[in-house]
């Protein structure tokens, strides 16, 4: 394991990410059956996950650790597999995900007039 990934701070961040992923998987399997408050909570968890993932990505990108740089490069290369244009960056993907989350929140934030 590289020095970057041995760091207690990085290990703790990865554990947080994994815990959020597990919690989200449980909720999103039944998302359409959740009430509005529960859906709101799931979206909040997803926002936290994206933020933690983005911060981890930035830490890896700024690190001079070889393994961290390999992960960053793998992320960049995988964009094509996700159907992203070659000019896209990982940052673009995170921004698009944030925009999508905002759109998902809109119906929950709009008061129901009925």
pLDDT recorded at residue 113: 57
Residue 113 lies in a domain: no
**pTM beyond 0.75:** yes
pLDDT recorded at residue 43: 92
Residue 111 lies in a domain: no
Residue 89 lies in a domain: yes
What residue numbers bound the domain in which 98 lies?
3-106
The string of pLDDT tens digits covering residues 62-112 is: 999 999 999 999 999 999 888 888 899 999 999 999 999 999 888 877 766
Residue 24 lies in a domain: yes
Contacts by residues 13-20 (CB-CB < 8 Å, ≥ 24 positions apart): 13/52, 13/55, 13/56, 13/59, 14/56, 16/52, 17/49, 17/52, 17/53, 17/56, 20/45, 20/48, 20/49, 20/52
Task: Indicate the number of domains in the chain.
Answer: 1
Residue 67 lies in a domain: yes
């Amino acid at each position: 394991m590289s020095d970057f990934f041995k760091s207690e701070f990085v290990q703790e961040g990865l554990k947080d990410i994994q815990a959020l992923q597990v919690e989200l998987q449980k909720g999103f399997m039944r998302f359409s059956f959740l009430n509005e408050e529960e859906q709101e909570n799931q979206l909040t968890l997803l926002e936290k996950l994206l933020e933690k993932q983005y911060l981890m990505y930035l830490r890896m990108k700024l690190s001079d650790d070889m393994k961290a740089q390999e992960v960053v490069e793998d992320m960049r290369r995988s964009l094509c597999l996700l159907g992203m244009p070659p000019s896209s960056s990982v940052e673009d993907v995170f921004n698009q995900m944030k925009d999508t989350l905002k759109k998902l929140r809109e119906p929950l934030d709009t008061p129901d007039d009925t």
